[in-house]
Homo-oligomer: A and B are copies of this chain.
Amino acid sequence: MGPQVSDELAYEPLEVLLDELAEYIAIPSVSRSATTETMREAAAWVARQLEFAGGRVVETDGFPLVRADWLNAPGAPTILVYGHYDVQPTGSRDEWDTDPFEMTVDGDVVRGRGVTDDKGPVFIVLKLVQAFIAQRGGLPLNVKFLIEGEEEIGSPSLPSYVRANAEELAADLVISADGAQWRPSEPSLSTASKGLVTLDIVANGANSDLHSGRFGGTVANPVHALSTILASLHDDNGGVAVDGFYDGVDDIDDVRRAQIAAVPFDDAEYMASLGVSELFGEKGLSTLERLWERPTLEITGVTGGGKYSVIPHVATGHIAARLVGRQDPEGVVSAIERHVKGLVLPGIEVEINVDQARVPAYRIDADHPAIRAATAALNHVYPGEDVLLAVIAGTLPATTLFEEVTGAKTLFFSFSTADENLHAPNEFLRTKRIPEGLRAWEQLWTLLASGPHALVPNHVMTGATR
Q: A residues within 8 Å of B by Cβ?
A: 194, 196, 198, 200, 205-207, 210-221, 223-224, 226-228, 230-234, 236, 270, 274-282, 287, 290-291, 294, 296, 298-312, 315, 317-318, 320, 322, 344, 346-347, 349, 392-395, 418, 423
**How far is A394 from B230 in the complex, measured between Cα atoms in Å?**
30
Q: Are A300 and B291 in contact (CB under 8 A)?
A: no
* 29 intermolecular pairs with C-beta atoms under 8 Å apart: A206-B274, A207-B276, A212-B296, A212-B298, A213-B320, A216-B291, A216-B320, A218-B290, A218-B291, A220-B276, A220-B278, A221-B298, A221-B299, A223-B230, A223-B317, A224-B298, A224-B299, A227-B227, A236-B344, A279-B347, A280-B346, A298-B311, A300-B305, A301-B304, A301-B306, A301-B308, A302-B303, A305-B318, A307-B318
> Quick one: closest B residue to A222, CB to CB?
B299
A309/B275 contact (C-beta < 8 A), A218-B281, A227-B227, A300-B212 known = no
**How far is A300 from B270 in the complex, measured between Cα atoms in Å?**
36
Q: Are A278 and B346 in contact (CB under 8 A)?
A: yes
- Residues on B with C-beta less than 8 A from A309 are 196, 198, 300, 320
Q: Are A318 and B306 in contact (CB under 8 A)?
A: yes
A300/B296 contact (C-beta < 8 A), A213-B196, A279-B218 known = no
**How far is A392 from B213 in the complex, measured between Cα atoms in Å?**
8
A219/B280 contact (C-beta < 8 A), A213-B194, A320-B212 known = yes
Which 10 residue pairs are nearest across A and B when measured between Cβ atoms?
Answer: A207-B275, A301-B305, A213-B394, A227-B230, A216-B296, A220-B280, A217-B290, A231-B231, A278-B347, A301-B306
Given A205-B276, A302-B305, 5 new contacts (CB under 8 A): A213-B395, A214-B418, A217-B294, A221-B299, A226-B302
- Residues on B with C-beta less than 8 A from A216 are 291, 296, 298, 320, 322, 393
Q: Are B322 and A212 in contact (CB under 8 A)?
A: yes
Q: Are B300 and A303 in contact (CB under 8 A)?
A: no
Q: Are B294 and A394 in contact (CB under 8 A)?
A: no
Q: Closest CB of chain B to A213's CB: distance in Å?
A: 4
- Residues on B with C-beta less than 8 A from A275 are 206-207
A311/B302 contact (C-beta < 8 A), A230-B223, A394-B211 known = no
> Quick one: closest B residue to A309, CB to CB?
B320
> Quick one: closest B residue to A299, CB to CB?
B223
- Residues on B with C-beta less than 8 A from A212 are 296, 298, 300, 320, 322
Q: Are B221 and A274 in contact (CB under 8 A)?
A: no
Q: Which of B312, B322, B392 contacts A300 (CB 8 A)?
A: B312
- Residues on B with C-beta less than 8 A from A298 are 212, 216, 221, 224, 311
**How far is A394 from B309 in the complex, measured between Cα atoms in Å?**
10
**How far is A303 from B307 in the complex, measured between Cα atoms in Å?**
10
Q: Which of B223, B231, B307, B320 contacts A200 (CB 8 A)?
A: B307
Most buried by B among A211, A213, A305, A344: A213
Q: Closest CB of chain B to A151's CB: distance in Å?
A: 14
> Quick one: closest B residue to A418, CB to CB?
B214
Q: Closest CB of chain B to A258's CB: distance in Å?
A: 20
Q: Closest CB of chain B to A229's CB: distance in Å?
A: 8
- Residues on B with C-beta less than 8 A from A200 are 307
Q: Closest CB of chain B to A422's CB: distance in Å?
A: 8
Q: Which of B231, B318, B394 contacts A228 (CB 8 A)?
A: B231
Q: Closest CB of chain B to A421's CB: distance in Å?
A: 11
- Residues on B with C-beta less than 8 A from A277 are 347, 349
**How far is A394 from B317 in the complex, measured between Cα atoms in Å?**
29
Q: Closest CB of chain B to A300's CB: distance in Å?
A: 5
Q: Are B291 and A217 in contact (CB under 8 A)?
A: yes
**How far is A347 from B280 in the complex, measured between Cα atoms in Å?**
6
